[in-house]
A and B are shown apart, each in its own frame.
Chain A
Amino acid sequence: MSTLSLTTSAGGMPSLSLPSSVAHSVWCAGQMATAGVLVTPSGWPALDKELPNQGWPHRGLTELLIRQTGIGEIRLLQPALRRVAGRIALLQPPHAPQVATWIDWGLAPERLLWIRTQRHADLLWSAEQILRNGSCGALLLWQGSLRNEAIRRLQLAAQASDIVCWLLRPLSLADVPSPVSLRLALQPREQGLQIDVLKRRGPPCATPLLLTWSSLHGDRSFFTDGHHHALLDRRLPATTTASSVATALV
């Protein structure tokens, strides 16, 4: 028979000492959950601080609500994808992923797996099979119209597997309750990404997080160099085929 004891620590905060088997699943509302689960560090120190266990959870679904496709959502996940072992399955992505970018990021192209499904039921089935099989390291799933039962089912499957699983949905669904344990809203900013933590196992996150692309280590691109101050617009280049125009003027 195990006992619970409530003691008062020096700071005046009551601290609960629990049997070690359940300690990780109970936490105070003001604290961040420290479940004994595996995480993959996101590669963004500022973001890691705001995530329970300092990283993307291996067990459980993470919901990313994005304003539109192409705001830097994969760039955000790129450091984590680099750390994850095994293949990365892209399930129903909105556009064709470009392999050249992937190689440019220093990731092996053999690790990509692109799955396209025709029907909604097939999509959920495929996601569940990938999670259950466990031979992939990460799963990215794009689907806007999911019923809560389906998400709950995915969440349970993700909890049973050791796969980092992201569900990408439009930002308009931010007000709709969702059973996933970690929800982030992503919005594009001038040189980075604004992240609102909508839901996590921990205290609510009041201030949005701002990540700038220049903090991404080892990245060399127009994102990071050049326009650090104000955006200097370039003139539109003149049309080069002007020969016919000249004759028209005569």
Chain B
Amino acid sequence: MAIIDSAQVVAVSRLAARHGVRPGMRPVSAQVVAPELILQTRDVMRENIARDAVAVTLLQYTPEVAIADADTLLMDVSASLSAFGGRRHLCHRVRASVQAMGFSLRLGMAPVAQAAWLFAHQAPRLRRAIHIESMRRRLDALPIELLPTAERYASWLTSIGCSTLAELRRLPRAGLKRRTDPALQDQLDRAYGEAPELFEWIQAPETFTAFIEFAYPTEQAGQLLLATHRLVVQMTGWLVARQRAVSALVLTLEYERMRYRLASTDIEITLAEPAWKEAHLLRLMKEKLNQLVLKAPVTVLRLKASQLAAFAPPTAQLFPEPGGAPADYHRLLELLMARLGPEAIRLPALAADHRPEVANQWQVSSQAQQKIRADTGARFAERPFWLLEQPLALTLRGHRPFYGSSLHLLSGPERIEAGWWDGDRAMRDYFVAQGEEGAYYWIYRERDVDQARWFLHGLFA
């Protein structure tokens, strides 16, 4: 693939470069060199949107990010170095974040922004300078063409024997200022840290919505997941910048409007505990996406943080708690719910009723958790651990209830007569019975019918 702008190739993909396409070629000649080349017209607006997205993402490393020019961002990381484990680690993380968004980058690091800018533009390899002396030494060797204002005078300056920044600095200041652009001298001073720099730091927007428009409509899960990752990375940056955590988010999948006329699909994710960690959010989305059946190829993926909460930094304990932190447990519940659905996870919610099937309530975990009054003093009557959801009618054999074998009654009856008030009346005599093989059963006999009918209701586990 190659990008063209005003009838000239401006950028080429790695594959295109291998086929011999070079920047500066005319589109026609590029297509002669590589007949299968895909030419794409440069879209400055989309480039700017992408750059702004990267800028928001990078806000997680420092609150001070500024846009230098069309494709360069400046970050003031002097306060972030120790927080992220030194400059090497920070560079790795910045690189990983930007690459996760699907962009490539060149990094330069220096005590002065203008110098960092020069380092980043200089060569594909990473340049870092921490001390001002070593930075100046490295700047001295740089060619003058790197300075954006010197480009116009490059041939003139080279012809007077001035090709590096060190040689440029040796020229008389007044003469240089008069004969070239005054901005050239300013830029040079700023790069060497001899003139102050001013920046306009970007501000994170009040609300977060981001989208990705696919070049071609896609129905591949992998591609959607990759795009989701990009959006989540972006959101992480925004959340950290605004010191917020997200408690509910919506992922919207839009289909080709003209062709399918389908309403977009919204995937809503509600979190039990506000989160801001990229890995956890991504894992939840992955499970949700895995469950989704696409109606049509997706053109636009949109992510919106619909509910926010204040960012609560984790409170560390001196001694690790057994069984992990409560946050781990919430994360587990969310993950299970994302895949199995909210009805699959149940927590006990005991109700005050004599009928065992009513008393033994289990609530769905997404509901507000009600506290169970567990009086340690209150003892229940003997109850089996397993309760059959539907009582099983037992046959009688030789006037004995029969389940696998004839059952012998061991204790009882325990009379339960309740529910006349809600139409679900139970009039039962419960017995504990034992089968011939030794297992214990909880059976009852209905009292309100003429014929004695026996039911199995529980198993003593």
Contact = CB atoms under 8 A, between A and B. Distances in A.
A72 B460 contact: yes
A100 B362 CA distance: 12
A70 B440 contact: yes
B461 interface: yes
Interface in A209-240: 221-223, 226-227, 231, 233-234, 236-237, 239-240
A223 B325 CA distance: 39
B332 interface: yes
A68 B439 contact: yes
Interface in B336-353: 336, 339-340, 343-348, 350
Interface centre among A86, A96, A245 (most CB of B within 10 A): A96
Interface in A140-191: 187-191
Given A94-B386, A188-B438, A236-B399, A134 B324 contact: yes
Interface in B424-461: 429, 432, 434, 437-441, 445, 447-450, 452, 458-461
Given A70-B460, A241-B449, 17 more contacts: A70-B461, A86-B323, A95-B386, A97-B387, A100-B350, A103-B374, A103-B378, A104-B382, A106-B376, A110-B374, A113-B347, A116-B344, A126-B340, A133-B328, A135-B328, A222-B410, A226-B411
Contact of A98 (B372, B387, B445, B452): B387
B330 to A, nearest CB: 9
Interface in A93-145: 93-104, 106, 108-110, 112-118, 122, 125-126, 129-130, 133-137
A69 interface: yes
A106 B388 CA distance: 22
B149 interface: no
Contacts of B387: 95-98
User: Is chain B's interface secondary structure helix, strand, loop, or mixed overall?
Assistant: mixed
Contacts of A237: 413, 429, 445
A74 interface: yes
Contacts of B331: 133, 135
11 contacts: A67-B439, A96-B389, A103-B380, A104-B379, A116-B346, A133-B329, A134-B324, A135-B324, A136-B332, A188-B438, A234-B409
A33 interface: no
B416 to A, nearest CB: 13
A103 B153 CA distance: 86
A74 B350 contact: no
A73 interface: yes
A75 interface: yes
Contacts of B380: 100-101, 103-104
A139 to B, nearest CB: 11
A244 interface: yes
B439 A70 contact: yes
A87 B348 CA distance: 12
Contacts of B438: 71, 187-191
Contact of A136 (B323, B413, B447): B323
A37 interface: no
Interface of A: 67-75, 85-87, 93-104, 106, 108-110, 112-118, 122, 125-126, 129-130, 133-137, 187-191, 221-223, 226-227, 231, 233-234, 236-237, 239-241, 244-245
Contact of A188 (B332, B411, B437): B437
Contact of A74 (B389, B413, B447, B461): B461
Given A69-B461, A135-B328, A236-B400, A99 B350 contact: yes
Given A95-B386, A98-B383, A126-B336, A70 B459 contact: yes
Interface of B: 322-326, 328-329, 331-332, 335-336, 339-340, 343-348, 350, 356, 359-360, 362, 372, 374, 376, 378-380, 382-389, 399-400, 404, 408-411, 413, 429, 432, 434, 437-441, 445, 447-450, 452, 458-461
A64 to B, nearest CB: 11
B336 A96 contact: no
Contact of A222 (B322, B411, B447): B411
A92 to B, nearest CB: 10
B339 A125 contact: yes
Given A109-B350, A110-B372, A100 B360 contact: yes
A178 to B, nearest CB: 22
B384 A70 contact: yes
Nearest to A96: B387
The residue among A70, A75, A104, A226 with the most chain B CB atoms within 10 A of its own CB is A70
